[in-house]
């Protein structure tokens, strides 16, 4: 951690708010924005959180799911336990992880996974799409019909193809960039709702319009 980076983080209003409210990470505000806009999480749901460390999204998901709900978190990096959250240590895409998730389907799959940034944008974009596809592939196996997914990806020339793929699995696919995402970041979130089911036919892409630019999306929100 460089002194400059530490100083910038201390000035970050989302970082300060996360510290003040005990949210574990500033990323929690991204999920809260997605929840406010798309209403993905409800009491009593079974929720899967991929790339969960340090637990910011899992904590928010647990509070929204309530005592009757269940949150299962998956990551290679362990984090401080959260009461009411089940943690599975493993890599998304590993068949052993799927076995440990149990047979009961999930209502929502969340993925805030991102690659380690290399500095080569094309490489980082491609790796982010690979992670998103891993999340999508797992969701296809464990989501109940009618379920939802929120997955992070870096914008680039592969994003639209990923969105079309999601359109074969979900009745509606939207794209957004939360205000808590840094302005310099190319990250965006693809939201798939009303999962058609694991045996959904692969046909025409979703008829949703092309993803808005981050500026357009923030203005529309």
Looking at the annotation, which residues are catalytic?
A: 152
Strands 85-89 and 106-111: unpaired
Q: Which of 113, 124, 106 is nearest to 198 (CA)?
A: 106
DSSP state of 186: -
Q: Where are the beta strands (DSSP E) in the chain?
A: 46-50, 70-75, 85-89, 106-111, 143-154, 170-176, 187-195
| DSSP per-residue codes, 109-134 | EEE---PPP-S-HHHHHHHHHHHHHH
Q: Which of 178, 169, 156, 176 is nearest to 206 (CA)?
A: 169
Q: Is the dihedral of CA 116, 82, 191, 144 positive or negative?
A: positive
């Amino acid at each position: 951690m460089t002194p400059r980076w530490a100083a910038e983080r201390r000035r970050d209003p989302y970082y300060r708010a996360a510290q003040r409210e005990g949210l574990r990470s500033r990323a929690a505000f991204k999920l809260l924005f997605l929840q406010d806009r798309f209403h993905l999480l409800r009491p009593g749901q079974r929720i899967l959180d991929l790339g969960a460390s340090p637990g910011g999204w899992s904590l928010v998901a647990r509070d929204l799911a309530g005592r009757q709900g269940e949150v299962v978190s998956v990551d290679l990096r362990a984090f401080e336990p959260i009461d009411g959250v089940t943690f599975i240590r493993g890599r998304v895409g590993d068949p052993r992880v799927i076995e440990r998730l149990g047979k009961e389907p999930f209502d929502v799959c969340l993925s805030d996974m991102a690659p380690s940034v290399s500095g080569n944008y094309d490489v980082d974009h491609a790796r982010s799409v690979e992670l998103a596809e891993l999340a999508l592939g797992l969701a296809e196996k464990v989501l109940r019909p009618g379920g939802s997914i929120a997955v992070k990806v870096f914008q680039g020339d592969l994003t639209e193809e990923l969105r079309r793929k999601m359109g074969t699995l979900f009745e509606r696919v939207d794209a957004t960039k939360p205000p808590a995402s840094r302005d310099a970041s190319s990250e965006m979130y693809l939201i798939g709702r009303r999962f058609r089911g694991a045996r959904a036919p692969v046909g025409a892409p979703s008829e949703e319009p092309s993803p808005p630019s981050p500026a357009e999306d923030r203005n529309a929100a």
